[in-house]
Every structure is written in structure tokens, then in C-alpha cells.
Structure 1
């Protein structure tokens, strides 16, 4: 035993001596010192770390996702702790994902309310509303990543997150005092008392209703108006009877417009009483129909009527602006004006325009007679817009708190001038006439008029036509110019008739042109103001119509003759029969047709000329425009052909210069006469003083201008005038010389008495 312990001690001693021969971290192997791998010993660095051997030593490193908890991390003095990537933002998740930390790492998961997408690495929203998450009497609305619940109308959310019914009938203001309130799950209904109605809107207050104003006088025969009132009475009574069947608002509106079209198409509205009944019936029908319409805005158009109706239903009164429009007018007001002082739970505004409603001349004359100064000044009125009816649910509209605005489109585009003035009027049912009271014209131009009215009714734009007084200078210019033209035309007629050197087709055309203008100017000078006798005035207007048209037809013939002279041969002629058929036959046919179509179109209250009614003036302007266009076309071709002939190799210069001179005078003549009537048309449309003066000057001096162009500027005519003047002068000198010779010879002889007669001889 002792020997055993002695050997053991000896071995340890020997081993210790060997180790003292190698450094720390090394050991003797095969009698040499080699590095000792400390990392071979398990758990050398602890958890979440790795051991790295070095020559004679080792060191420890933390795994990915971990870090040393101390500065000098070794197996003896430190350990590795987890890194929270989600807190330190070293790793981030995109889209609808959130970051979740794990031991040594992290992961991205979808947020609450989302799920992993099947198509990509993102997340899709979870529609929680697919499952019954909100319970009964509520509706679910899905939102990104979540949802929310809303109780159905008539329910409110309870503390336990359930929806319970609201008892609206606990508030007496819901149905008012004129109805009984009945509560039911999710709502309520108001049952009107006798004589009251809520127009089929069971959740609106009931208002007093009477059907008496739809009744027509007893004994009246069946008319479209009576049928309309009968329909409205039946519809009104059905609203008062809760068990009675009734039409929808849209059906009733269509039926009302059907009867209105029948009234307007057949011309049954002939007097003020009928017009008042019709407009009143339409206004009351809109009060009946408006609350029954289902859509917020309803538009309906028929042959003669156009309507737009706006309706709102809510527990609180509406506010803001409301604008309605038809094809001819616009109506602008506020919902506060529409509602008024009381709000039954609904409000409506309607605008109705009538396409076929034209106020008769008797009704317009009544307005004129009410103003003595207008009657003395011979002012006439006519409607220049379609009649419209504006209706709102507010029954107190005789004096509105704020004015409403109406914009009308003119039927006839005409700017205001000294002869035209616009005014905003409404139909006064009491007086049966149009009145300006309460309506002010805000602004106006040639196409539209803006009206501001402090009450509601049926409105229109009235155009006052003031007679333009002929000033002294215009009358003087006309009379002096026409007298000069008559003298010049008379000389021209004599020249064209008896001057042999210029005889030909063109001279014949100029002769008849001068004759037509001479007669027209003479009739114009003597009879244009003969308005006191309707028959005589119509005859004067007919003669002017015929002879002025005839003058233009002869000008057309001159253009045709010039064209034939250029294109055919220089000495070509037109047959006189053909010229008479065009120069006199065509104007005569136009006048006869015009007189048969509208006999009253000849003669106006101011002048014996063509009337503006029914566009009768176009029986003159239309042929004139056609002739001017045709003549212009012919002259363009003529000038073109002339240019070609001048540029030819062997032009006949003398003949071509003659034709060129003829063409220049013909074009100038067309510009003078055609331009004169263009100015007349402009004055008719615009009423400008410049156009009036230019027209007066050209019209009065057209005879003088023709004399200058065709006589004084023509060399052959000037030569004939010179010959004539020479002959007259030579005859005068000869007579004077003969008279002087006889006087001297007779003075030397004594006087002798005649024995037969007893008279003295010289």
C-alpha cells in the first residue's frame, strides 16, 4: 500500500516536471509542445456563443442575433444576450406586417385584421363583415384591417353594444299636432287627421289641405281646362283618403302636362280670365305634385311644357342655394326662401315654362291703355320670352324675405336701343293683365334678361317698342334727296329712250331699271306716311314691294347680259319677252303670293311698308339676298373671263375695255342698291343711328347715283349731251340774230293800217 502511493507521487512529480517544460496553453505530445485546443471542452463559452481557439489560448464570440452583455466577453466573466431587432429597428417589415422578436432572430407577421396574401408575400385585408359580427338591426362596414358597426335607421347603440329601437313617438314634434304617431321597429308613421295630409310621406308632418280651389264654375262645358281641374280634384281627394288609390307624383305630372299641351296647342287660352285659370291650375298642381315626387330632381318635357322640380326630405330644414332651369329660363333662390316659416319635413321648388303660350294682343293692349303717356306715344308691347311659373312649398310668397332671380332667354334676339326696352312682368290674376309691380330688371342684353322679383307667380319679359320719331334732318335729307333723284331718273329715262348712239340690250335694261326706281321713289315720297288709310297704305306698301323687287330683277338681268357679252359674243342680246318675264313677272308673282299668304303684312302703324309680324319682311329681303348672291357670282365669273381675254394673244382691246367699263358700273350699281338694303336690314335688327342715316342718304340719292354712273360717266352719253347743248345754243343764237335783224329793218318803215282787220303790222 505504501509502495502504491509512492509510485503515484513519483508519477505526478514526473508529469509536473514535463509540463514545466511547455508554455501555458501548450502540452507535450511525442516529447514536443503542441497547442492545447481549449474549445474541445464542451460549454467552454456558455450558451449562445462560439469558442474560437488560438495558439496557446482561445476566445468567445456571440452567435448571430446575440451580443455580449459585458465589454470583455470570456467564459469566466460574461454571457451573450438576445438582440431585439424590432426595437432597435435593425430589421423592418413592409406593408401591413408587424415585426415580432424571437430568440436570436425576428419574424414579420400580418397585422390584426389582415392575413397572408396568397399571391405574394404581402397581406390581404380580412373582411370581417362576411361574418355576423355586428348583430341584428345594424350594418357592418369593413375598413382596412378593421370594421365598424352602425345601427340601422330608427335604432341606436346600447351600452352592451347592441342596437335597440328608438321610440320616435316619444317626441311629439315628429308628427306634430295634426297627426297621430305610431311607433314600429326601426321607424314610425304619422296618420293625418281629417282634412290634413302629408302627401303620402308617412314620416312628414300633416298640413291642412283643401281641394276646393280645383273646382271650376258650375255649368261650364267640358273643356281641356275643366278636364285638368277634374284630374287635380280627384288626385287631391285621394290624398285626403288614406284608403283611396292614388297616382304617383310622376304619373300625375305627366297627366297634367298632357292636358296642358292640349290647352296650349288648340289655342283655348284666348282671354285674361282663361289665362288666369290656367296659370292658377298649374301652380296648384305643382303644389300637389311636388311633395309626391320620389327623386331629388325631376325633369319632364312635353310638346308645349317643360318643368324641373327639386324636392328634399329631412328632419332638419335644408339650407343653401337651389337653382332650376328649363330650355328658356333659369330660377335661382335659397332653400330658406323655399321653406319659409314652417317646415313640415319636406320642401320643394318648381319651375314650369310654356312653349306655346303667347299672350294675346288684347292683354298687352290693356297694359298700354293703363299708361296714358304710352298710348299717346303709340308704344306697343310684345312678349319676348316664354312664360314661366315659379312655385315653392312656402305658401307665403306675396312678399319674400329676399328676392328671387329669374334669367330669361329672348325669343327674338334684339338689343336695347331708343326704340326697344325690356321690362320684367308677372301675371296679375286680379287685374287680368301683365304688371311690373315687385319685379325689377337687373340687367339685359340682346339675348337674355335678368329679373329680380320680391314675390312668386308667372313671369315673362315684355318688350316695349317705342316708335322712332323721324327727326327733321332725316325728313329733310329724304325729301331733298328723293326730289333730286326723281329729276335725275327722269333725265336718265329720256336719255336711255331717245339717245340713239347707246341703244342696245343694256340700255333697255337701264331704262326699265330707271322707270322702276322712278315710280318707287315717287310712291315713297308721296305715300310712305299714308298710315291713316289702311287700304291706301297697303296699296303703297304693295307698290313699293313690287317696284323695288323689279329693280333688283333688272339688275340681275344686267349681270346676265354682261356675262353673255364676255363668254359668248359682244353683240349678244336677250329677248325682250324673257326680260319682261324676269323683270316684272317674278316680282309680281312674289307680291301676289305674299299678299295671299298674309294680307295684313302690307302696311304698319308707322309707315306704309312691309310688316315685321310673322317675318313678313323676308318676302322682300329673301329675294333681294338671293339676287345679290347670284349677281355677285355672275360678276366674279365675268371678271375672271375678262382677265383671261386680256391675257390672250390677240385681244380686242376696244371691246374688252367697253365691257370692263360696263362691269365696273354694274358692280358699283349693285353695291349701292344692295348695300342700301343691307343697311336697312342692320337698322331693322340693331337700330343704330349710323345705319339709319346711311340708309336714308343712299335711298334718297340712288336715282342721282344711277344718273351719274350710267349717263355722266359714259362718254357716248356725254358726247350726245354736248351735241344737244350745242344745238340748243345754236338755235338760241340763230333766233336771237333773226329777231335782231327783223327789228332793225322794221324800225325804218312807217306803220301802216290794215284795211281789212284794222290791226297794226310791224
Structure 2
């Protein structure tokens, strides 16, 4: 018996695990006792579960309200998850209550608009919201209770924009009157205002249809698209009326939109509108974007101090809206006063946008809003160009930078931070290129040299008899025009302190430079007649004077009558770049250059044919060829000079073009003297004859002086003889 017990104990020691005990047991003084796994490993079964120890093992049970995620829940696998008691076949709540699941349990609540009876916890009764909150619909409305709900009926002249559970606000439809400014308002804007006024009156009718937001929005942008496409926004006053109409329209339409976010795009406009409704005030940030701008703000800014039960924010972008010259001139003066700088040109470099919110007080916002504009022209800031954030000031009827500042900018976008809401844009401020000392010296020295050379040309063409003729007369008047133009330029180009004198200087420069090109055209006509129309080689002086001086005078008179402020700028006494007035000079110049190019091409072609003939008159042909070469060279010099000037006056004029234009402009008199005088054999011969005559006259005077001196030296000897005295 003892041997059997000893053998059994040995087997237990051999196969019984650690210390000879089985799994789930532990040795305690040579005795195997149960091991409590639930105490050894906390959270053995995971969250929302209980660990229950057994003899030699354990198991897990989910707490009430939870169930196992796995079908086979064992001691080592699976977690417990919430059990939705409300999804059962039969709701645990009575029919009058609504089952709401909670973590590990559920609640029986009354539906919206109902509350539990105080004496009976499991029954609901209707809540009279009108009694619970006296100011639920505002002071200008009647609150009507219904089972589980309520509605606000607005008094006449007030509306909640179809949101029957929102406060009623006063509606002012007079802002859409089409009678004010009737003569200046385009017919399409009158039709739009009439449509909006009818919609506004419908809102004030308690029984009216208040769900026309999408239709009104479509009608609004159809009308604005037509207005912008036809260019009816002609001046600052019309621009103010247009932007004000759009802003008031969005305040009328925004609360009526049913979708939380509405987008609409036409050919000329792009808009995005966000709407929030509910008893609780919305919070957090809100962002709207169009194809050319991004608008960031917060719902707290959108709502303001009073929340009537709805809020909206809208961003409207205009693709084809350009401000008039008057508003830009006034804006330039305003911004120059603010910055303390003058002679700055401003241009829109972003589409104009209008930002509208339901908050009626937007003149001084508690926190600034941010607008990011996409540049129309990609251009990075430099020393001669900066970007400025502006808004449309309806009081000043001009763009202004007050209340807006630039947050950051690059070549493609500019971010603006503003403390008020209105219509905004980004302007490019173009600073004039300052005259350097080198340019001033080149201009003055070159013009003085040109004046001397042109004076020599005038004397040569007037008194040199061997070259007299029609072509010589053309050169004479060309030199006279350039001489007067250069003299006026040298003496009066910087007379900007006197507006009248500056305008006179600009008018004289306009006239004489145009006259110079007209005489160049006459030279081209004369060459054409000499080569092509051989038997008609002269032009009557009356015709030449009519074209050379009459046409420029007519152009100047028409230009001055059309835009008198175009003569003289704040920087130079020359033609203004505004309103494209500079083309009153460049357009005739381009026409002259094109016509002369045609005449010279035909002339060269005819000369080539005559040189290839069998019996050419070489003397006349060589003379005509020299004339043609000189005329072509003259056209290249004068025409090329103003071609450089045309590119220079564009926005991207470079320093290289500036120096080329200055050098050619200041040395044109010297070049004409070189081409028409020094390169002319007849003129050189006249110069040689003149020099020889002067030299011979000087020698004659010297010889007479020498002979007189010798006779005077001999006369005393004769008198000495007469007196009987001798010099010796």
C-alpha cells in the first residue's frame, strides 16, 4: 500500500508542472492549490468585462449592456462592445417615448417638442415653446404653438425669410427703388432692381412664397452677367450703385437658400454662399472660394451679436469688372495722400470681389477677415512695383486702402487682412523709373549737339544753291521741326510745377514731332515719284505744307478737344499714358512708318530693275540710290527711336530700351547732319568751296596787311630823302 502511494507521488512530481502541480494550480508547502488568474493579470478580459476565477482556470463575462465581439468568447480572446438595446425587435421604451442608446445602457426620452409629465415619468406631453420663451420669435411676430413644434408669424414689414422658427427682422425694400438715378441707371439694372423689389415685398407678406432663393440667385447673376458684358458700368457712381445692389441682393437671397452650400457661376461672375440654421449659434471657421479669391472668417463674425436663428456668408467674384478712369484718378490721389508719395500709377491686378455676411454691423469687426486674391498678371514685387489691398469706398466713390493691410504676397497671390466688409481688390502700384544722372547727362549733351547740327543743317539746306529742290525743302522743314522740338524738350520737359505751361510744352512737342514724321512721309512720297513716276518729280509747296503742318495741327486740335488733361503729367510735360492717350501720337507715327516702308520697298525694287536694264542712266540712278539709302537710314533712325519708345512706355519697359531711346532721341540731329550733309558729295563740295573762300579771303586780308606794312616801312625813307635825313 505504501509502495503504491509512493509511486503515485512520483508520477505527480514527474508530470505535474512546476513544483509538480497541474496548470492552474500552484504549490504551497508541498500541496497544490488553485491559482487566481484574475488577480495575477489585471484587465485579463479587457474593458467592460468581468474576470471570474474557477478551480484551476477562469472565464470572462461581459457587463450588463455589453456583448462579446466574437462568437466564441474564451478566456484569452475577444473584447466586449456596447449593445444597442434600441435595435431590438421590441423597443424597451413605451410607444410614446423615444429610445436613445447610451454606452452600456439606454434612455427613454420624449420626442422633440415634448417633455415628460412630472407625475408620470414614462409619459410625454407637448411643450408650449411660446410660453417657455417670450422672445422666441422676436418683438414683431406672433408665436403659434403646435403639437411638438411652433411657428413664427411675422408682422407686416417684417420677415424671417421663410424660416418659420426664426426671429422676424425688419425688411427695407426701398433700397431696390429703380426711380433714384433713373436717367443714369441702365435699363437692365432697372429691371434687376424691379425684380428684387417685388421679391422683397413678397417676403413681407406672411402668406407669400418664401422659397425662391435659388431662382432669385440665378436671376441676379444673369442680370449682372449682362451688365458686365455690355460694359454698362461706366463710372464710379454706377460702380457704387452696382456693388451696392449686389450686396443688398445677397442679403435678401442668402437666408432663403435651402442648401448649406450653394455655388453658381456665369460668364462674368462666380459666387459661393454658405447657410446655417438652428436654435444654437454656429461656431468655428468658415471658408469660401471662387476661381479668383479665397475668403476666410469665423461664424462668430458672420453672426455678430444677435442670432435670429439663421446665418449666411457669401463671396461674389466679378471677372469682367473694370473701374473707370475717374475713380482710379481719385483713388490714386487718396492712396498717394495716405502713402505720402506721388507719381504712382495704380492698376487692378485681381478680380473685384464682394464679401457679404448676415451680420448687419460690419464696419468695425472684432477680428479681421482674410482674403487671398489670385493675380491677373503674375508679377513679383520689386522696387518699381508693389501690391496694395483696397476696398471700394462708396462715400468717396473711389478705391481706398483704409482698414485693409497686406498680409503676404508672391508672384501669383496676395493675402489681405481687413477689419470691415465691402467689395475688395488688389492694386498694382507702379512707381516711375527715376531719372539717373547718366540719363540726364546723355540727354542734355546729346540735345545740345543735335541743336548745333540741326542749325548747321538748316543753314546748309537754306543757302546751299547746288542742292536746291523739292527734296532739299523737305529736309529743311524736317530739320526746322526737329530743331524746335529738341529746343522745347530741352527747356521745358520738366516744367511740371506749372500745369498750363506744362500742357503747352506737351502740345508743342506733340505737334512738332508729328510734323517731323509727316515731312519724312513726304520724303518717301518724293522718292517714289522720282523713281516710279519719272515725269512727276516735284510736289507743290502748298500740298507739302498741308500735309507737313496741317495734318499734325488737326491731330493736336482733335486730341486736345477730346482729352485736354492728356497733355502733361506729374512727372514730365509729355502725353499721358492714361486712357491710351499716347496713341494720339503713336498711331500716326506707325502709319507713317508703314507707308514709308511701302514706298521704300517699291523704290528699291524699281531701282534694281533700272540697274539691270541695258542702257541705264548711271549718273541719275546713282544720285537716286544715294537719296534712297539716306532716306531709308533716316527712317530706321527716327522710326526705330520711337519704336523703342513705344516698348518703353509699356509696363515692362527695360533699362536697355530706356538708354537706347534716350541716345537715339538726343542724337537724331547729329545723325541727320551726318546723313544728309556730310555724306552728300554736293554739300561737301560746297563746304570745301566755302572753306576755300574763307581761306582765300583770309589770305587776301593777310597779304593786304603785309603789303600795307611794307609800304609803311618804306614811306619814312622817302620822307627822309625829302627832308634830307637818312634812316641809316
Both structures adopt the same fold (TM-score exceeding 0.5): yes
Work out the CA distance in 1 between the residues paired with 2:321 and 2:436: 39
Work out the CA distance in 1 between the residues paired with 2:718 and 2:207: 135
SS in 1 for 2:372: strand
Q: Does 2:430 correspond to 1:452?
A: no
Equivalent position to 1:581, from 522, 543, 546: 546
Residue 394 of structure 1 deviates from its aligned partner by: 7.2
The aligned residue for residue 746 of structure 1 is 712
SS in 2 for 1:747: helix
Residue 636 of structure 1 deviates from its aligned partner by: 1.9
Quick check: 1:601–1:610 contact (8 Å CA) kept in 2?
yes
Q: Does 2:255 correspond to 1:291?
A: yes
Task: Report which stretch shifted further, 341-350 or 709-718.
Answer: 341-350
Equivalent position to 1:707, from 657, 660, 673: 673
Work out the CA distance in 1 between the residues paired with 2:389 and 2:468: 63
Work out the CA distance in 1 between the residues paired with 2:416 and 2:486: 49
Residue 523 of structure 1 deviates from its aligned partner by: 1.3
TM-score (norm 2): 0.66
1:447-487 deviations in whole A, cap 9, x for unaligned?
A: x7633335543212334353443333222221111111011
The aligned residue for residue 271 of structure 2 is 308
The aligned residue for residue 619 of structure 1 is 584
TM-score (norm 1): 0.63
Coordinate RMSD, CA, aligned: 4.9
Quick check: 2:485–2:509 contact (8 Å CA) kept in 1?
yes
Q: Does 2:157 correspond to 1:200?
A: no
> Cα 1:247–1:256, aligned 2, differ >3 Å: closer, same or farther?
farther
Quick check: 2:350–2:373 contact (8 Å CA) kept in 1?
no
Residue 629 of structure 1 deviates from its aligned partner by: 1.3
SS in 2 for 1:470: coil
Residue 585 of structure 1 deviates from its aligned partner by: 1.6
The aligned residue for residue 169 of structure 2 is 209
> Cα 1:364–1:590, aligned 2, differ >3 Å: closer, same or farther?
closer
Equivalent position to 1:558, from 523, 537, 542: 523
The aligned residue for residue 71 of structure 1 is none
Equivalent position to 1:504, from 457, 464, 469: 469
SS in 1 for 2:613: coil
Quick check: 2:443–2:662 contact (8 Å CA) kept in 1?
yes
Work out the CA distance in 2 between the residues paired with 1:540 and 1:672: 24
Equivalent position to 1:365, from 333, 336, 341: 333
The aligned residue for residue 644 of structure 2 is 679
> Cα 1:321–1:651, aligned 2, differ >3 Å: closer, same or farther?
farther
The aligned residue for residue 722 of structure 1 is 688
SS in 1 for 2:625: helix
Equivalent position to 2:574, from 609, 629, 639: 609
> Cα 1:422–1:339, aligned 2, differ >3 Å: closer, same or farther?
closer
> Cα 1:683–1:266, aligned 2, differ >3 Å: closer, same or farther?
closer
Work out the CA distance in 2 between the residues paired with 1:301 and 1:416: 32
Equivalent position to 2:376, from 396, 409, 421: 409
Residue 573 of structure 1 deviates from its aligned partner by: 2.2
1:10-66 deviations in whole A, cap 9, x for unaligned?
A: xxxxxxxxxxxxxxxxxxxxxxxxxxxxxxxxxxxxxxxxxxxxxxxxxxxxxxxxx
> Cα 1:286–1:482, aligned 2, differ >3 Å: closer, same or farther?
same
The aligned residue for residue 108 of structure 2 is none
The aligned residue for residue 58 of structure 2 is none
SS in 1 for 2:714: coil
Equivalent position to 1:389, from 324, 333, 354: 354
1:57-110 deviations in whole A, cap 9, x for unaligned?
A: xxxxxxxxxxxxxxxxxxxxxxxxxxxxxxxxxxxxxxxxxxxxxxxxxxxxxx
Work out the CA distance in 1 between the residues paired with 2:161 and 2:478: 75
Q: Does 2:390 correspond to 1:422?
A: no
**Which blocks of at least 5 consecutive residues in structure 2 are unaligned?**
1-85, 99-110, 116-126, 138-142, 720-728
The aligned residue for residue 25 of structure 2 is none
Larger radius of gyration: 1
The aligned runs of 1:46-85 (5 Å cut-off) are none
The aligned runs of 1:139-288 (5 Å cut-off) are 178=136, 191-192=151-152, 199-201=161-163, 206=166, 209-211=169-171, 222-223=180-181, 238-239=202-203, 242-244=206-208, 248-249=212-213, 252=216, 254=219, 270=237, 275=240, 282-288=246-252
SS in 1 for 2:388: strand
The aligned residue for residue 536 of structure 1 is 501
Q: Does 2:557 correspond to 1:592?
A: yes
> Cα 1:571–1:270, aligned 2, differ >3 Å: closer, same or farther?
closer
Work out the CA distance in 2 between the residues paired with 1:615 and 1:729: 57
Work out the CA distance in 1 between the residues paired with 2:395 and 2:635: 57
Work out the CA distance in 2 between the residues paired with 1:370 and 1:428: 14
The aligned residue for residue 693 of structure 1 is 659
Task: Report which stretch shifted further, 499-508 or 562-571.
Answer: 562-571
The aligned residue for residue 492 of structure 1 is 457
> Cα 1:612–1:748, aligned 2, differ >3 Å: closer, same or farther?
same
Work out the CA distance in 1 between the residues paired with 2:311 and 2:87: 27
The aligned residue for residue 70 of structure 2 is none
Residue 644 of structure 1 deviates from its aligned partner by: 2.6
